[in-house]
Amino acid sequence: SSASRSGLLSQRGASQVAPGHAASWVRLTAVATTRDEGIDEPSSAAKRILEQAVAAGFETLVKAQEGIWARRWHDTDIAIDGPARDQMMIRFGIFSLLQVAPFHADTLSIPARCYAYNRYNGLYFWDGEIFLLPFYQFCAPPVARNLLSFRCRTLPGARRNAALLGAEGAIFPWQGDADFGEEQAPWGLHKYLWHQNADIIYAFDQYARATGNEAFLCNEGLEVLAETARFWVSQLQRGDDGLYHLEATVGPDEAEEHGPDNGYTSLMARRSLEISNRWWNCAMDKTPGAADLAAAKLGLIDGEVDEWASLAGKVSIPEVPGCAGVPLQDAFFLSRKPADISNMTVEEYWKKRGEVQVIKQADIVLAMYLLEDRFTKEEIRRGYEFYEPKTLHVSSLSYNTHAIVAAIIGKPHDAYDYFRKAAGLDLDNLRDATKDGLHAAALGAVWQMAIPGFMGMRVREDHLAFEPALPDAWKEIRFPIQYHGWHLRFAVGGGRYRIDVSGEGRPGAMLKIGGASWALDAGPTIEGRYRP
């Protein structure tokens, strides 16, 4: 029945209960929206769902719910022989990711603060592609597909964003919604905050490599690949040095001063152009019909795809003087005073950030992790050691990135320390921000710290690689992933590994671990040793 106040619903009931007896109430609720696949009239759909639920009965519904969650945990759970707190944090992160995942539709994404809209109004950020998608593409590939398909659906809004800038192609919003796909960010950020375009394309590529679903990129993804590349081409300006520069951009720290040659954005734009070139060439070779149709629709001209690769090789990436191979964060950083930030508060940070060398969050360190194949391990170590003492970790995306990179470069104590801070970000309320909702990306990064971090998992061009380096506190880790259609269950610890292989995946799919290479279709069990 309608409540007394407009806009609210309520139900009332009464019963007499004799002493020593119990009464049970079963309340059934159905939620349906037009964003759910196949639903045009939510009210009638919700009524139909309720009628089916009443007919099924409570016990049947509970059993079905238990079955769904049992299957989801089977495909995602990480179990460790280690501190109970670490285990709890990992499972809380996984549960949260399962709770917010769009299993049912590709017409929506995952809000930055999960279901609490006290901050960011339920909008979607680049966090989804960089920090959430890796979990889904390895543990729930249909969800990963939905998240990327959502970006394809919102391409018209991204085109309108580019038009507002007088640019070509499309620029996806830094802060976007499910209805229009246009930029919702304040402060005129759309004029120079563009790295999300490259982050999304990076995720497209990672998804195809992890799942083997090349058809998605060679069909639905072609327009996104082309239009984002066109945006970068229209914004890159040739300098007197013969290189191409992004003149006014900013990286993951959106409040930083924007200017020329931002390191993170330039690095990711270069990779984005390379990815678009690669997959368009792949489509023209493997699915020429789809490529021809997309090219005609877009008005793609001869030589345009080749131009993306040519420009990518000439993007300006300045380096830190004296740190060979380490990209410079931006044009302003070194002009500021060096400072000891070990005791700096967040309030002091906001006052002094333009005066001293202090960084809000992982920026170049994040780029070197994402683009690890472009750097030597020594260059990544130099980058970490240069930027880490200057980073205050104000963002929820910083502790976790440093944990992963510390694991890469052989700093196990740093890695584990950052893991515990990052995993406890919300439950420990480290930034007094939990009241505004959970940090979805930080929860996704808990899985990343465990698997890409401590297990050293990387998606390579033609194989899946692992370099285990578990924390001393963890004796063993057990987890499932999916790769190219194969279902893999790992048990790793103490210098030994066992991998149970099931499913029917791509023939010839390869896995490398502990210096050994394995074909996944060679047998149901893989066992070996690695150097801990």
Amino acid in the structure at residue 410: G
Say how far apart CA 325 and CA 321 lie, in whole Å: 10
According to DSSP, the β-strands at 79-81 and 476-483 are: antiparallel
Handedness of CA 389, 391, 392, 396 (dihedral sign): negative
* Closest to 367 in 3D by CA, of 195, 163, 185: 195
Distances (CA, A) of 490 to 428, 437, 481, 513, 532: 30, 33, 8, 11, 16
Rg (CA), the chain: 24
Say how far apart CA 203 and CA 124 lie, in whole Å: 15
Q: What phi-psi label fits residue 514: left (phi over 0), alpha (psi between -120 and 50 degrees) or beta?
A: left
Q: What are the b/e assignments for 340-357, b being 16+ CB within 10 Å?
A: ebeebeeeebeeebeebb
Q: Tell me the two tokens of residue 315.
A: 């993007």
Question: Are the beta carbons of 442 and 454 closer than 8 angstroms?
Answer: no
Q: Tell me the two tokens of residue 172.
A: 């996806």
Q: From the CB of residue 166, how many other CB atoms can be counted at a distance below 10 Å?
A: 7
Say how far apart CA 82 and CA 78 lie, in whole Å: 12
According to DSSP, the β-strands at 476-483 and 458-459 are: unpaired
Handedness of CA 392, 396, 399, 405 (dihedral sign): negative
Q: What angle do CA 343, 349, 351 make, to 5 degrees?
A: 130
Say how far apart CA 181 and CA 173 lie, in whole Å: 7
Catalytic, out of 254, 256, 274, 388: 254
* Closest to 76 in 3D by CA, of 486, 491, 480, 458: 480
* 504 among known catalytic residues: no
* Closest to 387 in 3D by CA, of 404, 371, 366: 366
For 67-75, the CB contacts below 8 A with 24+ separation are 69/98, 72/98, 72/140, 74/480, 75/139, 75/140, 75/480, 75/482
Half-sphere exposure of 395 (CA within 13 A, CB side): 23
Q: Tell me the two tokens of residue 65.
A: 């719910």
Half-sphere exposure of 116 (CA within 13 A, CB side): 13
Return the C-alpha torsion angle 112, 113, 115, 117, nearest 10: -100
Q: Tell me the two tokens of residue 358.
A: 């202090």
Residues assigned a catalytic role:
254
